[in-house]
Structure 1
C-alpha cells in the first residue's frame, strides 16, 4: 500500500493546503488523484479523504473548516499530514446505512451507478453528515426515491417527495 512520509504544512486561504510537490507527485505518478489523509495537530488526529489538485502550478487539497475545528487549529497554525493510498470504491468511505439501502433497492443501485464519480461522492457525503443512523437511512431512502424519479439536481435530492 502506498503511503507518504509525514509533512508539516499550513493552510493557504480559508480552505486549502498547499501540498509539497514530492508528496503530490508520489501519488499522482502512481495514478492516485485521491488519497486518505491523516492530519495531526497538538496530539489530535483526524482521517478523511481528499483530492490532489494542481491549480495555477501549485498542488493543493481542500481542508474544510470542520476539519480545522476538529483539530482545534487557528488559521496560521502548522500541522502534520500524511497520505495513504485510497482503497475505497468511490473515493470516500461508504456509510453502512447507505450501502444497505443501495443493496436492498436494485433500481436505486442502477440510478446511483449512472452518476458521475463526483456526484456519487456528493451523495455519500450528504448521507455521512447526519449523526443518527435512522436519519441516515431516512435520507438515503428519500434520495433513492428522488433519483428513481429522475431528479438529478443534487440540491433537490434530500427534499421529501
Structure 2
C-alpha cells in the first residue's frame, strides 16, 4: 500500500521553502524516503509535483523547496494558508516522464541504456529540461538531440538539447 499523509494545513511563511511538521513527515522519514509526490490545494486550484524533502536543522521539522513558479501557479502569497497532502514517490525517476521521451527511448535503445547509467539527479535534470519545451514536436526534436548527445557522452546540461 502506498504511504500517504492526511490533508493538512500550512501557512506560507517562507519564499523559498515549505516547512512540514515532523509529526506529518515522520512516517516517510522512518522509511528513509527523501522524495515525495506533493499535492497542494489553494482556493479552487490543485497543484501536483515531486519534491525532495530535507530535515531543517533549526526546528527539526522537514522542508522542501517551493519555487516562485509554483507559488505563482497557485496565486499564493506570503501569509496565505493552503492545504497539502504527501504521497510516497513510486515513480521511477522522481518526476513524470513525458510521453515523447518514452517514445524516443523506444526507438533508441543505446541512448536509453546510457540514460539508465546516469545518477537519479542527472536523469531528473534531463527530464525537467525536456519538459520545459511547450509543444509535443519540440519535445520529440529535443529528445532526439538529447539521445545523440548521450551517445557522444556529452552530459553537460547546458548542451544537452543542442546540436554541436
* Residue 26 (structure 2) pairs with residue 43 (structure 1): no
Q: After TM superposition, where is structure 1 displaced by more than 4 Å over at least 4 residues in a row? A: none
- Could you say which residue in structure 2 is the equivalent of 1:34? 35
SS in 1 for 2:77: coil
Q: CA deviation at 1:12?
A: 4.6
- Unaligned runs of at least 5 residues, structure 2: none
* Residue 112 (structure 2) pairs with residue 116 (structure 1): no
| Alpha-carbon distance between aligned partners in 1 of 2:64 and 2:50, rounded to the nearest angstrom | 10
- Could you say which residue in structure 1 is the equivalent of 2:87? 84
| Alpha-carbon distance between aligned partners in 2 of 1:160 and 1:30, rounded to the nearest angstrom | 42
Question: Deviation string for 1:107-161 (max 9, x for gaps)?
Answer: 1111101110000011111111222101111111111111111112112112223
| Alpha-carbon distance between aligned partners in 2 of 1:94 and 1:2, rounded to the nearest angstrom | 22
- Could you say which residue in structure 1 is the equivalent of 2:146? 143
* Residue 73 (structure 2) pairs with residue 70 (structure 1): yes
- Unaligned runs of at least 5 residues, structure 1: none
Instruction: Give the paired residue count.
Output: 161
Cα contact 1:35–1:51 (8 A) shared by 2: yes
SS in 2 for 1:160: coil
Of 99, 123, 128, 2:102 maps to: 99
- Could you say which residue in structure 2 is the equivalent of 1:153? 156
Cα contact 2:55–2:62 (8 A) shared by 1: yes
| Alpha-carbon distance between aligned partners in 2 of 1:128 and 1:15, rounded to the nearest angstrom | 22
| Alpha-carbon distance between aligned partners in 2 of 1:91 and 1:25, rounded to the nearest angstrom | 20
Q: What aligned pairs does 1:2-41 form with structure 2 within 5 A after superposition? A: 2-41=3-42
- Computed over aligned residues only, the root mean square deviation of the Cα atoms, in angstroms, reads 1.4
